Amino acid sequence: MDLPPPPNLASLSDLVSPPADSAMRRREFIFGAGTSSYQIEGAVHEDGRLESIWDRFCATPGKVLRGETGATACDHYHRWQDDLDILERLGLDAYRFSIAWPRVMDEAGRPNARGIDFYKRLLDGLAERGIRAFVTLYHWDLPQHLEDRGGWLNRETAQRFTDYADLMSRELAGRVAAWTTHNEPWCAAYLGYGDGHHAPGHKSTRSAAQAMHHLLLGHGLALPALRANDPKARQGIVANVAPGYADTDTAADRNAARLFETFQNRWVLDPLLKGEYPAELWRLRDDSEPVVAPGDMDIIQRPVDYLGLNFYSRAVLRSAGPDRFDWVRRPDVERTTMDWEVYPQGMQDLLEALDREYVRLPPLYITENGMSSDDGGDAGEVDDRQRQAYIKRHFAACSRAMANGVDVRGYFIWSLLDNFEWAFGYERRFGLVHVDFDTQQRTLKRSALAYADFLRERAAG
């Protein structure tokens, strides 16, 4: 793919900055970057950390590209102070990261002080640097001992998650700006239990539906503990979302796009915001309706303070028959190294559609947006021009949605660091910061330097 030519710049910040009249430039708008525990921490055998489903999955031949694992990853567990210094150098308002559940509790549910102390040090380091903490409780690294008892197919796991949320919100109260219960329950349920691409690697539409229900139930059950233990913090959940577009302007293809959005978006958002699953979902998923106990939906739809949205691309769909759709891969469009189409307009379209659809839509944060690109392997200057253009165009799309009345209050770029990209190992690089995984040297890419310049100019203005 041909990279865009270097632009003529008034300042480096012009590479990524939102439009001059964007509401994103207001001081109260939060800019940040994100990571997750298994993707960066390493130290999987240290200080009492238990095995996770991703440790087991990575150890299973054929599951992860080249057999790579998160055993070392970015070695953030030992290099966290240097990484916080990078956050400070970038001038970020907030840092979104996750806690490793296997690091903070033993099999009996008792606290592991050594693991908890790591997060206390991390949070104190953020506070010293004036950076707010957006903390995710579950970013997919379920303790393996819970998976051995059924994982998210076992309703008891929702209660164990509530115990975990209760412990962490008591231990870390006063240090956290915002709690997230789950990151992307769609991925945890469908990729983990439906198509087997992620840990724990099950392949069953019925299992995916039941896992989703228990993930959402755990979210609702955990909210009262989070509110009681840390009342000054906000509580929410993060969903990965994508707009669907019809391949042709036929009724069948328009219906296919609607079915995709039911599968991708409404499967998660309808229970949270309407207290019900979309009825057509179970026809789409081959009679995979989960077991739902009385009162579950009331628990799941408990109010949240915010909804995080992770946006990367769109889907183009064509009909494959009644209640079926196929993805269409259009040629000659810009793509990332994940083979995802770059389509910034999709962000605006989706934000405005959700704003119309959901009466109870809470304030929104873009909790992940970014791209995997070929940045080069050297730890010298990394001029990631495609990422720079990607960020700038998506900032503009978000700005247009905000101008049209959508309540977006913050934006987190994914990811702070190149890291372990799940089943793709270390091949796909999403970071603002280049990581040499042999030496662990960090190098700020040009996108990061431009982001920092924009934030400095905003602060000075």
Report pLDDT digits (tens) over 82-92.
Answer: 999 999 999 99
- Return d(Cα 98, Cα 401) in angstroms, integer: 28
Q: For residue 54, say whether it is annotated as part of any ligand binding site.
A: no
Q: For residue 414, say whether it is annotated as part of any ligand binding site.
A: yes
Residue 1 has what pLDDT? 38
426 contact partners, CB below 8 Å, separation of at least 6: 68, 418, 419, 420, 437
Residue 378 has what pLDDT? 59
- Return d(Cα 179, Cα 324) in angstroms, integer: 37
**Could you give the C-alpha distances from 247 to 225, 316, 324, 353, in angstroms and in order?**
45, 6, 14, 19
pTM of the model: 0.97
Q: Please determine, for residue 442, whether its predicted confidence score (pLDDT) is greater than 70.
A: yes
Mean pLDDT value of segment 208-214: 97
Per-chain mean pLDDT for the chain: 96
Q: Please determine, for residue 132, whether its predicted confidence score (pLDDT) is greater than 90.
A: yes
> Which two tokens mark 41?
């921490």
Mean pLDDT value of segment 157-171: 98
Give the model's confidence band at 15: pLDDT under 50 very low, under 70 low, under 90 confident, else very high.
Answer: very high
By CB neighbour count within 10 A (0-12 exposed, 13-18 middle, 19+ buried), where does 335 fall? middle
CA-wise closest residue to 109 among 173, 163, 152: 163
Residue 7 has what pLDDT? 55
Q: For residue 426, say whether it is annotated as part of any ligand binding site.
A: no
Mean pLDDT value of segment 243-258: 98
Q: Please determine, for residue 5, whether its predicted confidence score (pLDDT) is greater than 60.
A: no
DSSP secondary structure, 236-258, as one string: EEEEE---EEESSSSHHHHHHHH
Q: For residue 422, say whether it is annotated as part of any ligand binding site.
A: yes
In the block, which residue shows the tokens 């040297």?
441
Give the model's confidence band at 377: pLDDT under 50 very low, under 70 low, under 90 confident, else very high.
Answer: low
Give the model's confidence band at 3: pLDDT under 50 very low, under 70 low, under 90 confident, else very high.
Answer: very low
Total Cβ atoms within 10 A of residue 173: 15
- Return d(Cα 298, Cα 288) in angstroms, integer: 21
Count of H-run helices and E-run strands, the chain = 16, 13
* ∠ Cα 282 284 289 (to 5°): 20
- Enclosing H/E stretch for 223: helix 205-229
Q: Please determine, for residue 226, whether its predicted confidence score (pLDDT) is greater than 80.
A: yes
Domain parsing of the chain, residue ranges:
12-460
Residue 2 has what pLDDT? 45
Which residues are catalytic, by number? 184, 368
- Return d(Cα 72, Cα 425) in angstroms, integer: 12
By CB neighbour count within 10 A (0-12 exposed, 13-18 middle, 19+ buried), where does 404 fall? exposed
Give one word for 302, left, alpha or beta, with left for phi > 0 and alpha for psi -120 to 50: beta
Give the model's confidence band at 8: pLDDT under 50 very low, under 70 low, under 90 confident, else very high.
Answer: low
Q: For residue 394, say whether it is annotated as part of any ligand binding site.
A: no
Q: For residue 139, say whether it is annotated as part of any ligand binding site.
A: yes
Residue 122 contacts residue 84 (beta carbons within 8 Å)? yes
Residue range 12-460 in CATH 3.40.50.11260: no
- Return d(Cα 265, Cα 86) in angstroms, integer: 34
Q: For residue 255, say whether it is annotated as part of any ligand binding site.
A: no
User: Roughly how many angstroms between the first and final C-alpha of the chain, as a whole number?
Assistant: 37
Mean pLDDT value of segment 296-304: 98
